[in-house]
Amino acid sequence: MELGAAFTVLVASKVGLPISTTHCLVGSVVCVGKVRDPQRGIQWGLLRNIVIAWFVTLPASAGVSALIMFILLNVSP
């Protein structure tokens, strides 16, 4: 799994694509699970929660950052 993730990061870096090592590791785990046991190798509910967390993280962090900036800009020194 580590080798697959490292290979993916190296290829994406060479091509110039921004990529997350966390995404690569999760993808490697899914691939290995599917290869080892095609019928029951992946817990799809857990993978769904991981993907949802990926999509929620960006807007949530943007919202927190905006709130912090709003507070910092409106607090009179």
**Average pLDDT for 16-41:** 85
The first and second tokens of residue 30, run together, are: 């899914």
Q: What is the pLDDT of residue 29?
A: 85
Spatial contact of 75 and 67, defined as CB atoms under 8 Å apart: no
59 and 35 fall within a common domain: no
Summarize pLDDT for 31-65 with one digit per residue, the tens: 888 888 888 888 889 889 988 988 899 899 999 99
18 and 55 fall within a common domain: no
4 and 38 fall within a common domain: yes
DSSP H stretches of helix in 1-77? 2-15, 21-36, 44-74
Q: How many domains are there within the chain?
A: 2
2 and 35 fall within a common domain: yes
18 and 32 fall within a common domain: yes
36 and 10 fall within a common domain: yes
Percent of the chain with pLDDT over 70: 97
The first and second tokens of residue 23, run together, are: 């995404």
pTM of the model: 0.63
CA–CA separation, 46 and 1 (whole Å): 18
**Structural domain that includes position 66:** 48-77
22 and 53 fall within a common domain: no
